[in-house]
Structure 1
């Protein structure tokens, strides 16, 4: 049988974790073991180590490393090492094994992603802790200027955010290449609990804008996360009139509603932000009830806001 035909079953056996069958197959290609040790399979260029680490088969991983003596730092076409695979899939036992065998903790794949960044794409705090405890640098950035904190803020696990702030208190002081902060990221993706942590523990400037002039508040509004928009309003107490004007200029949907059927007018009235209310009413936003039947005008407490609704011929 041709060499290529002999090697074909190997990735499947590794992916399925069938160690005994893998060992049997390897006996059939004993003269080819040297080649198999460095063989790259498929379009991705994965090695057998990549398959084992990605699928979480520790016994197979041990066999490949300790018996076949495969190189832990073999990389595929995206420059992923086996450690990237274990980290990205949250396989703690495989990750610890690779680290204990000396795998480089801050190895880089394509676009300069580290295993810690990959781990932060999942809500597995223990894997992130293992990497940090083995020396992973949380402050490293990928080609877009994101560090692992940006990525964790996108995924929305407040426990991970708290941990990263504990081990690296200044990790929040970071911007991507287009000046987007972790607060932008959390607001855009609707991660309310993370936004709460960031506002409690970090010191972001009100209305910090990226290169396009977009603020976290704008991100929240444009993506329908009105609970986060309200939180940002309450925190900064600025009214965000300029932001509202910018959003309307950019064509934001003035009638957008959150999961409780509240509009931006509800948020502005709840925060008693007269200038925002005025802008929204002038833009033609109609006062509609939320899921409890409450109209925005019923949240008004200030006389200046009452006057705005009277001028707009809306009874309060």
Structure 2
């Protein structure tokens, strides 16, 4: 088959050029190819392209005239309904359902068209699927249902609608025990969090399999106003620990969220030198290991102890060198932290593997 003709088929379909496409097919005798051909690594058919781009006239032609199967799938097992739903093309979704498309067909990783629709803020498409008996309680391979996905995207109208049609949909947890509240908090969806706290009976400080709470998700991603909502309306704890004994004050140091640090220490009076259980690391250790120079300075402004050691006798300078962060090591030395031996007799300098870190010690 002429490669140029095949490329032209795809181009005309993606561009929605119906008359040119049908003419090209008939002139070049490509009707059978248009029905059966899977293109590229994805294995998409022309019907996939039409559904994805919302070209209803082409989609209808391919199914009715060319004979493309409404359940044809690509290499990810995506059906045409997945494509139309994921891009929010209501007319195509409606047509495919009328033609008998399976409403809860599964693509790779067990995603349904409804889940795909919930990645978009298109209530009309979601309502159409629900009215054709799509099941919002189905879960994908990670244990997420459509409600988890809607809470991640943060559209209050979609969240309200799903709670109306499936009042218990909020009770589902992912395979890592994360609730939709965790998801909404992590992504900073304040309106959705408000809805969840008002309409759903979540336990305060419910933990996922790593011991992370929704409050932790909020602050370590810098969503301070949302964290306040969890404190005020859900009695969240600002000092809860995950399974490693790490508290929010440590987590925000890891992610370099300096305003969240100020919020925890100045407003909530969390001890900036609080140690995580286990290795007894402080926020200063965590920030140094991640190489967050500005965060190190903020911690010191908030009263962090520059010379504090962990359970193994390591200072923040050791951690900066473990992380191979030259600028963090330089900053700590400039602030007055001297190199020292840990409990095993190892100095921070001995942990340096990169030449730029070694030069820091040579110049100090």
TM-score, normalised with respect to structure 2: 0.71
Aligned partners of 1:161 and 1:248: how far apart in 2? 28
Aligned to 1:23: 22
Aligned partners of 1:90 and 1:74: how far apart in 2? 19
CA distance 1:162–1:266, change in 2 (3 Å): farther
CA distance 1:72–1:278, change in 2 (3 Å): closer
Contact 1:226–1:267 under 8 Å retained in 2: no
Contact 1:256–1:263 under 8 Å retained in 2: no
1:81-119 deviation per Cα after TM superposition (whole angstroms, max 9, x unaligned): 111010000011111111111111001110000000000
Aligned to 1:312: none
CA distance 1:207–1:35, change in 2 (3 Å): same
Aligned partners of 2:10 and 2:146: how far apart in 1? 31
CA distance 1:264–1:248, change in 2 (3 Å): closer
Matches within 5 A, 1:89-238: 89-237=87-235
Aligned to 2:358: none
Aligned partners of 1:57 and 1:215: how far apart in 2? 44
- The reply on whether 1:61 has 2:55 as its aligned counterpart is no
CA distance 1:224–1:91, change in 2 (3 Å): same
Contact 2:220–2:251 under 8 Å retained in 1: no
- The reply on whether 1:256 has 2:241 as its aligned counterpart is no
Aligned to 2:11: 12
Please state whether the residue corresponding to 2:38 is helix, strand or coil.
coil
Please state whether the residue corresponding to 1:77 is helix, strand or coil.
coil
Cα drift, residue 33 of structure 1 = 2.4
1:172-230 deviation per Cα after TM superposition (whole angstroms, max 9, x unaligned): 00110010000000001111111000000001101110111100011111111111111
Cα drift, residue 67 of structure 1 = 1.0
Contact 1:221–1:229 under 8 Å retained in 2: yes
Cα drift, residue 286 of structure 1 = 5.2
Please state whether the residue corresponding to 1:108 is helix, strand or coil.
coil
Please state whether the residue corresponding to 1:172 is helix, strand or coil.
helix
Aligned partners of 1:243 and 1:231: how far apart in 2? 19
Aligned to 2:319: none
Aligned partners of 1:212 and 1:5: how far apart in 2? 53
Aligned partners of 1:208 and 1:173: how far apart in 2? 12
Q: How many residues align?
A: 277
RMSD of aligned Cα (Å): 2.4
TM-score, normalised with respect to structure 1: 0.81
Aligned partners of 1:186 and 1:238: how far apart in 2? 15
CA distance 1:4–1:192, change in 2 (3 Å): same
Contact 2:16–2:50 under 8 Å retained in 1: yes
Cα drift, residue 278 of structure 1 = 4.9
- In the alignment, structure 2 segments of 5+ residues that lack a partner are 275-282, 284-298, 304-364
Cα drift, residue 233 of structure 1 = 0.8
Please state whether the residue corresponding to 1:246 is helix, strand or coil.
coil
Cα drift, residue 129 of structure 1 = 0.5
Aligned to 2:341: none
Aligned partners of 2:147 and 2:90: how far apart in 1? 20
Cα drift, residue 23 of structure 1 = 1.1
Aligned partners of 1:44 and 1:239: how far apart in 2? 46
Aligned to 2:353: none
Aligned to 1:279: 271
Aligned to 1:246: 246
CA distance 1:225–1:83, change in 2 (3 Å): same
Cα drift, residue 42 of structure 1 = 1.3
